[in-house]
Amino acid sequence: MIQFDRTDIQKQLNQPSNALNLKATMILLIGSLILAIVLVMGVFLDYFMTDTLETQLGERALSVAESIALNPAIAQAFSEDDPAAIIQPLISPIQQSIDAEFIVVGNMDEIRYSHPNLEQIGRKMVGEDNERALLKGETYLSKATGSLGSSLRAKVPIYSENKIIGVVSVGFLADDIQTLISNYNKELWLMLLAIGLVAAIAAIGIASYLKHKLHGLEPEEISRLLLQKETILQSTHEGIIAVNSKGQITLLNHMAQQLLFGRDVSADKLIGEPISQVLPTSDLPEILATQKSHYDKERRYGSHAVYVNSGPIFYENTLVGAVSTFRNKTEIDQLTKELSQVKQYANALRAQTHEFSNKLYTISGLVHLNKKQEVLEFIRMENDIQQEWIRQLIGKVSDPLISGILLGKLNQASEQQVQLAIDPDSRLKTPLSDLQKDALLAAIGNLIDNALDAVKEKPAENRCISLYFTDVGTDILLEIDDSGPGIPSESESRMFDEGFSSKTGRDRGYGLSTTKRLAELAGGELHAEESDLGGACFIVSLPKRSREDEREIARFDHRR
């Protein structure tokens, strides 16, 4: 089970958990954005509202002016001796009802017949903006300064029998319009200010929420964590796959891609896919369901045999996903084989040490008995045996590692009172590749150990092992015979299976399978048959040339 919290992340980075740089930056940026939006909206709405109010007041003034100009009573009053006496009483209530600053009716000479200031009646209209209405008959809005001040005016001509006889001017003072616009804009800016304050508070809340979700980390810390994670993930020699709580793949490193899917499948295409569809034999769905870990389960994906460890991932006691790691079984077997070879060397040295200890005890006893001549004869005999072994091995085998393990096995067999004989015609002078050397070392070590186990129940005079090796011809051959009981018929079909052994005990059933695998890896074979000595005979054949050499020769011949 994998579980972590925020403090774990902070400890990894050695950073304080209360850093506020990101939070302050986010508040500043979001606040600046809100301020800019409020200002732009305020200016736009201020302009829009000013223009709208002026347009509405202008349309209102035009509408009133047009209704007055179309009033028959107004047109008829122009033919009376005192038009103002008729027109002024008609205009005053209209002016009060529409809250206009003034409504002025004038004749062609721009003499006023109505005005809010009675003293101005009979005087000439001020502003000099009546020409378009009186001369051209146009209806329009204008801005001019009259007797009451600067104002927005609606000008409409008055017709009588299709002839212009006067003009109606309805106006609102500019100061009154600005006061009205200011009142509206004040409310607008207050509303925008309230929106800005609420948005600022929301910005602080958003920044705090994001800071919490990012575990209090700053952007540079997140970037460094991501770089570290990717580096560790891709440099790990084990395959790693992680899924979320829904069983979708969230993480996949290169080693997992190569072991499980091959190089042709893109890791990016697998991210987000359900693990149950991509890898039906995966343990991850079961891990999500049971929340229990699995360890060292053997699986095969394509041509790769792997060991799988799987476990759930918890965050703050909540299941957030699961992860599986994959170790290449071949590499573990290779390491096991190398350790086995080291063990064989150690056993051979131990046997040799034990044997020589016995011989030293023999020499010591003879010395105490004052048998000097016998001591010399014994030493000479042992020296001759060792020198003969060394002479044979040096003359027959060019590789020192092969010679070393053979010498160790000769001493081991001698200690166990087993006759290990090397055929006089044996020779191995061909330079060996690493694969060939590994295969032969494993074969000599494992097969001779098996032969020693097979003959140990025999009487001492019948404990025989014969060893023959040669590089004459196109192959390297290694043959090991023993006088043991042979291979049981019920074991013949399974004796090369990993973990199978006809003997009891732990750590058995790997020697023959490892030897066969290494022989095949070097392009060779391992066979078993009945021995002339009455027991089992194992034959290892390795081609002298590797597959790469054969391809290179084929390419050279083709070019020729």
CA atoms within 13 A on the CB side of 156: 25
| CB 531 within 8 Å of CB 486 | yes
Compute the mean pLDDT over every residue in the chain, rounded to the nearest whole number: 78
Residue 325 confidence (pLDDT) above 80: yes
Strand, helix or coil for residue 531: coil
CA atoms within 13 A on the CB side of 373: 0
The whole-number pLDDT of residue 18 equals 45
| Residue 542: band (very low, low, confident or very high) from pLDDT cuts 50, 70, 90 | very high
Q: Where are the beta strands (DSSP E) in 39-133?
A: 102-107
The whole-number pLDDT of residue 537 equals 92
Of the ranges 31-35, 51-55, 432-436, the best mean pLDDT one: 432-436
| CB 391 within 8 Å of CB 410 | no
Eight-state DSSP code of residue 122: T
Beta partners for 465?
420, 482
| CB 242 within 8 Å of CB 250 | yes
Alpha helices per DSSP H over 70-147: 72-77, 83-98, 131-136
Eight-state DSSP code of residue 116: S
Kindly state the tokens that stand for 332. Answer: 């573990």
Block residue for tokens 């060394």: 390
Kindly state the tokens that stand for 169. Answer: 């001017």
Give burial (CB, 10 Å; 0-12/13-18/19+) of 155: buried
Domain ranges of the chain: 20-214, 221-332, 371-551
* DSSP letters for 266-318: -HHHHTTSBHHHH-TT-SHHHHHHH---EEEEEEEETTEEEEEEEEEEEETTE
Q: Higher pLDDT residue, 166 or 2? A: 166
Q: Higher pLDDT residue, 359 or 166? A: 166
Residue 173 confidence (pLDDT) above 80: no
Strand, helix or coil for residue 31: helix
Residue 275 confidence (pLDDT) above 60: yes
% of the chain surpassing 90 pLDDT:
4
Separation CA 78–CA 142 (nearest Å): 25
The whole-number pLDDT of residue 481 equals 92
Please report, as a single letter, which amino acid is at residue 178: Q
Is there a shared CATH topology between the 20-214 domain and the 221-332 domain? yes
The whole-number pLDDT of residue 556 equals 40
Separation CA 449–CA 110 (nearest Å): 135
| CB 168 within 8 Å of CB 68 | yes
Q: Higher pLDDT residue, 119 or 392? A: 119
| Residue 184: band (very low, low, confident or very high) from pLDDT cuts 50, 70, 90 | confident
Eight-state DSSP code of residue 216: T
| CB 177 within 8 Å of CB 152 | yes
The whole-number pLDDT of residue 9 equals 47
| Residue 12: band (very low, low, confident or very high) from pLDDT cuts 50, 70, 90 | very low
Of 101-110, 369-378, 490-499, which range is least confident?
490-499
- Which numeric CATH code is attached to 221-332? 3.30.450.20
In degrees rounded to 5, what are phi and psi of residue 133?
-75, -45
Residue 500 confidence (pLDDT) above 70: no
Residue 154 confidence (pLDDT) above 80: yes
| Residue 38: band (very low, low, confident or very high) from pLDDT cuts 50, 70, 90 | confident
Q: Residue-wise over 396-410: b if at least 16 C-beta within 10 A, else e?
A: bbebebbbbbbbbbb
Three-state SS string over 142-192 comes to: EEEEECCEEEEEEEEEEEECCEEEEEEEEEEEHHHHHHHHHHHHHHHHHHH
Superfamily designation of domain 20-214: PAS domain (3.30.450.20)
The whole-number pLDDT of residue 385 equals 61
Q: Residue-wise over 127-148: b if at least 16 C-beta within 10 A, else e?
A: bebbeebbeeeeeebbebebbb
% of the chain surpassing 70 pLDDT:
79
Residue 19 confidence (pLDDT) above 70: no
Among 167, 157, 162, 154, CA closest to 63: 154
Residue 303 confidence (pLDDT) above 90: no
Residue 549 confidence (pLDDT) above 60: no
Q: Where are the beta strands (DSSP E) in 329-427?
A: 419-422
The whole-number pLDDT of residue 560 equals 42
The whole-number pLDDT of residue 540 equals 92
Of 158-167, 191-200, 383-392, 400-409, which range is least confident?
383-392
* DSSP letters for 454-518: HHTTS-GGG-EEEEEEE--SSEEEEEEEE-S----GGGTTTTTSTT--SS-SSS-S-HHHHHHHH
Among 231, 204, 188, 181, CA closest to 51: 181
Q: Higher pLDDT residue, 302 or 535? A: 535
Separation CA 64–CA 51 (nearest Å): 20
In degrees rounded to 5, what are phi and psi of residue 458?
-80, 160
CB atoms near residue 48 (< 10 Å) = 12
Residue 479 confidence (pLDDT) above 90: yes
Q: Residue-wise over 350-385: b if at least 16 C-beta within 10 A, else e?
A: ebbeebeeeeeeebeebeeeeeeeebeeeeeeeeee
Separation CA 147–CA 265 (nearest Å): 89
**Per-residue pLDDT tens for 211-230?**
777 777 777 777 777 777 77
Angle at 362 between CA 356 and CA 365, to 5 degrees: 140
Among 114, 123, 108, CA closest to 84: 114
Angle at 495 between CA 490 and CA 497, to 5 degrees: 125
Separation CA 247–CA 100 (nearest Å): 75
Class assignment of domain 371-551? alpha beta
Q: Taking every pair of C-alpha atoms in the chain, what is the biggest distance, in angstroms?
A: 178
Helices (H) and strands (E) in the chain, counts: 17, 15
Separation CA 560–CA 548 (nearest Å): 19
